[in-house]
Every structure is written in structure tokens, then in C-alpha cells.
Chain A
């Protein structure tokens, strides 16, 4: 996915760019609305993350102005927990909003929900053996059939899909799977891996347990 981040706080922007890059996304950063317009003029983005308060204006006003010719979905970053603000952001054509500070898993979940709602966008499909996995939409296609995966299943599958053939430790998997404010045990991971295995059964790829080390995805399996 290619993101445009419009955020004036340099440190926060730097963090968000790094953090999203870790998940394999490409991010351009604009510190002002003017810079954002320059970016939009030359590149195509899958999603825009737009701060509400920017030095050269209000993100909502920008949205109201450019919504007519802007097809890219927009998620507002707001610092206010106030409800009226949320309503205002959505009224002005934002697809969703998220309040700072946010959990990146939640950001991802909201992006996915927005992209699913919008539909019809060119997406990055990942081939898993004979099956096609679309992490943005959360779908798995096999044999002409499409199944919708649940949130955790998508995340789990995505971790393996992005590291094909590599052994991933339980700790690594856990970082991708659970919010950091939740107390989870490694047992929980076994539960989820077990469930995902049942879902992908017979699709021509599988997740193996590497005793004492972790898991590995095998896409060449019969």
C-alpha cells in the first residue's frame, strides 16, 4: 500500500513513516497542505492520512475543498476525543477517523475497512501457491472461490506471506498479532495458528511448526 501522510509534527510523522514501513508500506510525508497538494499532483496513493490541525489550514477545510476531485480514501488523524469533532470530520467527506495516539493495528483495521467499503481499487495480491491473498481487502481466492478472512486470520496470514519460507518466532508473530496493551500468552498464538490452518486447508499452501523455533509458511506443498 502507498500512503500519503499529512502531519506537521515532525517527530510523530517520522515515527508513523518508520512504523508503517516496517509493515511493508510505502509512505510519502507532507508537513503542510500545500506540500500534500504537490504530492497528490504527481503520485497515486491508496490512502491519505490527514491531520486535522496543520500550519497552513484545517485538514477538514482542505478535505471539503478537494473532495470533489480526490478519489483517494482519507482517514483523519484527530487529537480530539470530542464526538462533535468526529461527526464533523465524517461530514466533510473523510472515510473514517482515528484519534491520536493510536494503535497501529487499529489503524490497519480501519484502513482495511475503508478499502473494503470503497471497493474497486487496484490492490496488491500476494500469490500463496495457487491461491491469491489480498491483505488490504482481507480476502483469499482459491479455485474461483473467495473467502473473507477474519481480522486475526488476515494479520497472521500477512505475516507469513511477507516472509515466505522464513522461520518466524512466536514472539515475532505475537508482535504482529496483538495490541501491545493486551495481555497475551504464547498459547493464544497456537490457538490462532490452529484456526488459520483449518481455514487454508486444501488450498495448496500451509503453515508448518518448526519445533523449538516457531513457524514457517510453505507455499510449494501439494
Chain B
């Protein structure tokens, strides 16, 4: 599977990018607004100060007089520590103040004008206002200029800008954290769907009915359609196997039935023997077909093993009950000594393992004997022990009996395909257990144990 960046990462990254852009933008805006506001404040105070001084202008004996009101400078001191300069010019003559201040832009009478310039090595802002004062018979234009350096204002602006910068960075980090959470939250429905699909058993192909956000509906639909197709195709192949078995085994059943009828009606011993051979051949091929099919089923089911909670004693009891009539035909009785044993696995497979072991015990024991089933538990394992009173498994190596198509030397005329123990061993191995073959301690009979891990 090719992995691309996860949706969560992409979403987080995208949201973080947006947050970064917004942070920078807001920082810029705050900074420029702060600068504007500081400049406007300075302008207003400068204007007020110039106007206040101009207000004190009067004429005394034909001379223009003024008082420099303290308040006019106090105002300026209030906004910053910046240096303040002033100058009053009456009819092109400096009345008072710093006469080297730059000349103001010309303006109409009574109008406050502002200038920005250099003075004594610093940038200054200057406001000027011109008034006409009646001095004697003359009207004299008096221009009052008040100037202030801009260091204080710039300092305030950069303070605010720094603060705004810090806030923006903080905002950015909070936004990133929030977008990570948001990404996770919005992916939750998707994760829930994924979890509910992966929690399912291998054969659970029912449609998903979980409620999902509208955006996920197409995904859910597609998933359900895929599941439906899978179910159909599995069903088709199962149907195919069933159909194939039906086609092979129904004619075999016809042959066997007719042979039985013929056996009842003929009396010639040689003919009877021939009919018995036919029946045996039918049974052999039916058994082989059945065991091959079971073996194939086991092979495909262990690929994706179901892990249901089961009780080994229930399974043993059910399988024994199903085989009881078969055992009764040979007057063989089961004795059960079972204790509950919780295990995990596939009931169908375990049933077929137990069935094959019991089938052997019935087939290879003499009539009118007992087959005992016992469960023994130890700390980690459950052991289902099946003992019979037959001839036992012989003296040779026993492991080979679990090989495919391997039959023992004791089979003499007993129908079989040599796959029974193969199936049982494969099922147990898939469940993390094992099949143990031995002869009973007391000398006669086989003792076959199905060992499974307990949960």
C-alpha cells in the first residue's frame, strides 16, 4: 500500500497555514493602526498646544504680546518624554522660541498645518497656526509653531507592535493545536467505520448500518456494495461446491441403494460378494470425495480463522451426540467425563477435528466396546482425550499418521481415505494447539488427545 500524508496531517497543515497568514496579517494591521493612532494623538496635542499659545496672543501698545501658558507644554509632556520646540513669528520676525526651526508650510489664517522634518539631528513633527493680531492700526499675521521629536511616539508604536507580534505568535500556536484537534474530531466517524469493519469476523459480510455524516455516505455505500459482491461471490463458490458434491454423490447413492436391494434379492453367494464389492467401492469414493472437500474447506477457513469464544466441553458433547447413532450401529458406547474449558476458535473446524478423531475410534475399535472422552485442564491448556479399546496405533512412528493419505497397517477392510488425522492436526495447529497420538498406558487401544490453549 502506498502511504500518502494522512488526511489528518493535511488538514492540520492547511489550517496551520491559514492561521499563520492570519497572524501575520493581524500583526501588520495592529502595528500600522498603532502607528497611525500614536501619530494622530501627537498631532492633536501639538495642534491643541499651538492653538492654546495662539489664543494668548494680544496686542499691547501696538506690540504683539504673548504668554507661554504652562498647560500648552504640559500637554505635550503628558504623551511622551520627547523634546519640545516652539517658535512664534510675528510679521516675519521671531518673537520668541527657536528661530532655526524649519519654516512651516504656508497656510490660511486660523488653519492648523502639520509638517514633518529634520531638526537638530532628529525627526520632528511640527504644527503651526497663524492668527491675525491687531497691533495698533495694523493687522499682523502671527504664526505659532510647536514641534516635538518623534522618538517617544515611535517607541510606543514599536512597543505595541512587539506586543501584537507576541500575541500573534501565541494565537498561531493555539490555532495549530485547535486545528489538530479539529482534524482528529472530523476524522472520528471515519475511524469508527474502520474500527467496526476490522472488528468483524472473517465471514461477517453484513452491510454496515452505522450512522455516518453525509460526507461519508458515498464511502459507506461503496463499502457495503463491495461487501455484498464479496458475499455473492463466496456464496456462488459455496453453491458451486455444494452443486458439485450433489452431482457426484447423488448417483453414488443411487448405485449403493440399488446394490443393497439387489443384495436382498439374490441368493447366490458369489453374486452377493460382487455386490458387496460394489458397495465398498461406492463407500470408498464417497468417503474420499467427502474428506477431500472437508480438507479443502479446512485449508481455506484457517486462512482467516474465526476466534469465537467456545467451550470445548460443549463442542465435544455435541459432536459425540451427532456420532452416537453411528457408534450405536457397532454397539459402541461413548462415556463422557467433561469439564468446561473456555477456548477461542472456529466451531465448525473444531467440530470436524473432533469428528474425525471420534470417527477413527469408532471405525478401528471392535464392536461392543467403549470410547471415552475426557477433558483434562492444566494451567494453560485444555486436553480432550479420546480413548478406545481397539488395537491401538501400532508400534511404528505415529507422527506419520497425520500425513496426507497415510493409512495405518491396521486398516484391513475399513473404509477410509487417510485424511482424517491430517484434517484434525491442521485444525489444531491453526488454533495454536496440537494433536497427540499415543497408545493407551494399559496396553490396548489408541489414545488421541486434542490439545488447545485455554483463554
Contacts and interface: CB of A to CB of B under 8 A. Distances in A.
B254 A19 contact: no
Interface in B242-275: 242-243, 245-250, 252-261, 263-264, 267, 269, 272, 275
A67 interface: no
Contacts of B347: 87
Say what secondary structure dominates the interface of chain B: helix
A113 B324 contact: yes
A81 to B, nearest CB: 3
Contacts of A96: 322, 325
Contacts of A12: 250, 253-254, 257
A87 B257 contact: no
Nearest to A9: B250
Interface in B268-303: 269, 272, 275-276, 279-280, 282-283, 286, 289-291, 293-294, 297
B109 to A, nearest CB: 109
Given A79-B246, A79-B250, A106 B324 contact: no
A102 B348 contact: no
A112 B257 contact: no
A182 B362 CA distance: 13
B283 A101 contact: yes
A53 B243 contact: yes
A98 B88 CA distance: 126
Contact of B331 (A11, A101, A105, A151): A151
Interface string A162-189: 0000000001000100011111000000
B431 to A, nearest CB: 15
B294 A152 contact: no
A100 B249 CA distance: 6
A81 B252 contact: no
B282 A101 contact: yes
Interface of B: 241-243, 245-250, 252-261, 263-264, 267, 269, 272, 275-276, 279-280, 282-283, 286, 289-291, 293-294, 297, 322, 324-326, 328-331, 347-349, 351-352, 355, 367, 413, 415
12 contacts: A15-B261, A16-B257, A22-B264, A83-B348, A100-B253, A100-B286, A101-B253, A101-B257, A106-B325, A151-B328, A175-B264, A181-B283
Interface of A: 9, 11-12, 15-16, 18-19, 22, 52-53, 79-87, 96, 99-106, 109-110, 112-113, 150-152, 171, 175, 179-183
